[in-house]
Structure 1
Amino acid sequence: MLMSPRVNDSVHELEPPRTARFVSSSAASTLSSGHGGGTQTPHSMGRAGGVRASLSVNYLPSKFSDALISPTANPRRRVGKGKGKLPKAGGGTEVFKAGEARMPVEGDEDYDGVSTGWFGGKSAKLRSGPAMKWNRFKWILLCTNTLLMMFSITALILSLLTWFNVFTSADIIRVGNRTELILSTVAASVGILTALIGYAGILLNNRSFLAIYTFMTWITFILIVIPGYLTYRKRSFNLEGKLNSQWSRDLGVEGRLRIQHHLACCGYFSPFIEATVSQTCYPRSVLPGCKLKYMNFQRMALKRWYMGVFAWIPVQLVVMVAGLLCSNHVTYRFGKGMMPKAYRLDLSSMAVIMDNYANEMTEQYGADVASNVLVASRSNLQLSGNESIMTMPYEAGGSHTVHAI
C-alpha cells in the first residue's frame, strides 16, 4: 500500500514516472487516458491541446538547423512574414543559395504542386514576396514540348488528309500501305496527347503531370519508330517480291480496281494477268500493266515516309532528354521538398519540443532554469506581445507548474 506523500514531512514526495524523451507530457497523458486502451499512433502522440503537432517532435531537436531556432544567427536568411515570424521555409528564386531552406510551407511557391498564375509576373505574385518568374528549365520544357506539338499536329494533318483522300494518289496509300498509315495516325495522336499533358504540367508546375509526360514521350518515340522502320524495311529489302505477293494475295478485287483506276493501268503484268475488269480495263485494253507504275509509286512514297519519320526522331530524342532533365526543376526548389507535411515544423510543434526540453531541465537543474529557457526561446522566435506558443504542464518535486510564454 502506497503512503500518501503528505502524511509525514520527512518522507519525500513520490516523483512522477519520467515519460519518453521525445513525447510531450500532454501526449503522455493522452496515451494513459486513451479510450478502450487502444494503441496510440504517432499522429495522436503529436497532438498538443487539440492541435496536431509535427511528427518531427519525435526526433532529436539538436538535429534541426540553428537558423530555424535562432533566425538572427544568419542575418542573410529570409524571414517569413507569417504569424510566427519563423524563417522562410523554402522556394523562390534564391533557393539554390547557400544556407537557403528547401522545404515548402503553405502559401509558398509551388506549394502542393500548383502555383497561381500562368506565365509569371504580376498575375503570379504570391501573397507575400516578389513576383514569380519562370526558370530556364521551364522555358526549355516549353520549347521542346512546342516542337513535339508542331511535329505531331503536322503528322496528324498529313494522315487525316490521306484518310480523307485529299491528295491525288492518297487512295493508293490507303489500299497498299494501310498498316503504316494506321500506325502513323496513332503515333501522331499520342504525340498530341503527350504534348497536352506537358503543357498542363508546365503551366501548373505540376510534377505529377510532368512525370506522366516524360513517360509518354518514350511511348511516343516507340510509336514513331515503328512506321519508319516498317516503311524502310519494305522499300530496302525485296520490294518487288513484297508487291507481287500483295497484289496476288492481299489486295483483292476492290483493291486492284482502285489502284488500276488511279494509276491508269490494267492487270499486274498485262490485262490478262490478275486484272479486275472495269470500264477501262478489259482483255483487249491498250493500258499497260500496273507493276512498274505501282513499284515506282511505292519507292517514292515509302522513301518520303521513312525520311519524314527519321527526321522526327532526333527532335523526339531532344524532347525526351529535356523531359528527363528538366521536369523536376520547373520551379526554383528541387522536387516537392523532401520533408513530408506531417513532419514540417510549426508553432505547435516548437511548443512540444520546448516543453520536452523544459521537462528535462526541470528534472536536472530545477524549474527556474526551465523558465529561463522558455523565455529565451520566445525571444529567439521573435514573437510579439499578442502571440504565444502553447505549452504543456510539467511536474518537478511534486509541484505543478505551467509556464506561459
Structure 2
Amino acid sequence: MTWVGQWTLHKWCLLASVTTVFLLGLTCLVVSLLTWFAAYPVAPVLLITDSPALVLLTFSSSLLLLASMVGITGTFLNSRPIIAVYVLLLFPSFLSFVSVGYVTYKKAHFSLDAKVSEAWHFWYSPGARTVLQGALGCCGWGGPLHGAAASGTCYTRSPLPGCHGPLVRFERDLLASVAGTVFSLVPIHLANIFVGLLCANHVTHRFGKGITPARYRLTARDIYSTSSGDKHTELLIPPLPAPNAFAAFREDRQNKPIHRHMHGKFESERNGYS
C-alpha cells in the first residue's frame, strides 16, 4: 500500500466524501428493500400509505450508489474527468434525495387528516384496509360501522377502536421523522458536492502522480549515446526556448531549429573547424 504515503490531503478529503455518499446510498437502499419486502412489522403500512415517498427513496439511493462507484473509481485512478462525472451525478442525487423530504414534510404539515381520510374512503381497497386494521389494531375508520373491512378481528360488534386516530398519529410521527432526517443530511450532501467540484477542477496541487516535464524526459538518442560507451559522445541539453509575443510559452515544446543549430555548432567545434 505505497499509495497511502503518496496521497495528498485533498485526495483524502475526496475519499472521505465519496465514502459518505456510498454509506448514505447503501443505508437508504437497505431501508427501501426491507420496506418493499415487508421485513418489519410496520412495513406493510408504509407500502400502502407512503408508496410515492418510498419510490423516491429507492431511486435516490440507487443514484447515490452509482455516483459513489464513479467517485471511487476516479479517486483510485487519479482521473479528474471521472471525478467530474461523479460531481454531475451528485446533482440529480441531491434533487431526488431532497424530494423525499419535501414530499413527506408536505404531507405531514398540510391537511394530513383530510388526506388520510380521503385515501381511506376513496383510494384504499378492502384488502389494503384489512392490512391497515391488522397492523394498527383497529377496525373501520371511525368504528366498526364506518368504512370497515370485514375480517376475523373486525366485525360489527368488534371492541377495537376506529383507525382514524392511530393512522393519523402514525403518519404524523413517521413523516416528521423522515423529513427531519432528510433535511438534516442536506448540508453533508452539499459539502460532498463542494469537495468534488474542488478536486475535479480547482485544486492545483499534485493530485496523485506527477508528470515529468518534457525537458527531463529521456529520448531514444539519449539512451543510445549512453549505452554506446563513446567517451567523446556528449549529451546535448536542448536550450529552453524563450517565450515570444505570438505564441504561448509551453515547456513541453522544443525549438527544433535552435536545437539543430546548436547541435551543428557543437559538432564543428569538436572536429576543429570552428
Q: What's the TM-score once normalised by structure 2's chain length?
A: 0.76
Tell whether the 8 Å contact from 1:137 to 1:330 is kept in structure 2 after alignment. no
Please give the root-mean-square deviation of Cα atoms over the aligned residues, in Å.
2.9
Tell whether the 8 Å contact from 1:180 to 1:227 is kept in structure 2 after alignment. yes
User: 1:158 — aligned with what?
Assistant: 31
Structure 1 CA distance for aligned equivalents of residues 152 and 169 of structure 2? 25
Higher relative contact order (CA 8 A, sep 6+): 1
User: Residue deviations 1:323-359, cap 9 Å, x none?
Assistant: 111223486169x99xxxxx9856xx643x338xx8x
Tell whether the 8 Å contact from 1:141 to 1:327 is kept in structure 2 after alignment. no
Tell whether the 8 Å contact from 1:205 to 1:331 is kept in structure 2 after alignment. no
- Kindly provide the amino acid, as one letter, of the partner of residue 280 in structure 1: T
Structure 1 CA distance for aligned equivalents of residues 267 and 169 of structure 2? 87
Unaligned runs of 5+ in 2: 212-249
- Kindly provide the amino acid, as one letter, of the partner of residue 375 in structure 1: G
1:149-188 equivalences under 5 Å are 149-188=22-61
Quote how far apart the aligned CAs of 1:260 are: 0.6
User: 1:354 — aligned with what?
Assistant: 258
Q: 1:319 to 1:272 in 2, by over 3 A?
A: same
1:6-405 equivalences under 5 Å are 120=3, 133-328=6-201, 329=203, 332=206, 345=252, 350-351=255-256, 353-354=257-258, 373-375=262-264
User: Residue deviations 1:226-276, cap 9 Å, x none?
Assistant: 010010011111110111111112212221111011111111111111111
User: 1:65 — aligned with what?
Assistant: none
Structure 1 CA distance for aligned equivalents of residues 204 and 145 of structure 2? 67
User: 2:235 — aligned with what?
Assistant: none
Structure 2 CA distance for aligned equivalents of residues 376 and 229 of structure 1? 77
Quote how far apart the aligned CAs of 1:199 are: 0.2
Give secondary structure in 1 for the equivalent of 2:185.
Answer: helix
Q: Which runs of 4+ in 1 moved over 3 A?
A: 328-331, 343-346, 373-379
Structure 1 CA distance for aligned equivalents of residues 158 and 170 of structure 2? 22
Quote how far apart the aligned CAs of 1:152 are: 1.5
Q: Which has the higher helix share?
A: 2
User: 1:62 — aligned with what?
Assistant: none
Aligned residues: 230
Sequence identity percentage: 30
Q: 1:376 to 1:219 in 2, by over 3 A?
A: farther
Q: 1:251 to 1:378 in 2, by over 3 A?
A: farther
Structure 2 CA distance for aligned equivalents of residues 377 and 229 of structure 1? 76
Tell whether the 8 Å contact from 2:81 to 2:200 is kept in structure 1 after alignment. no
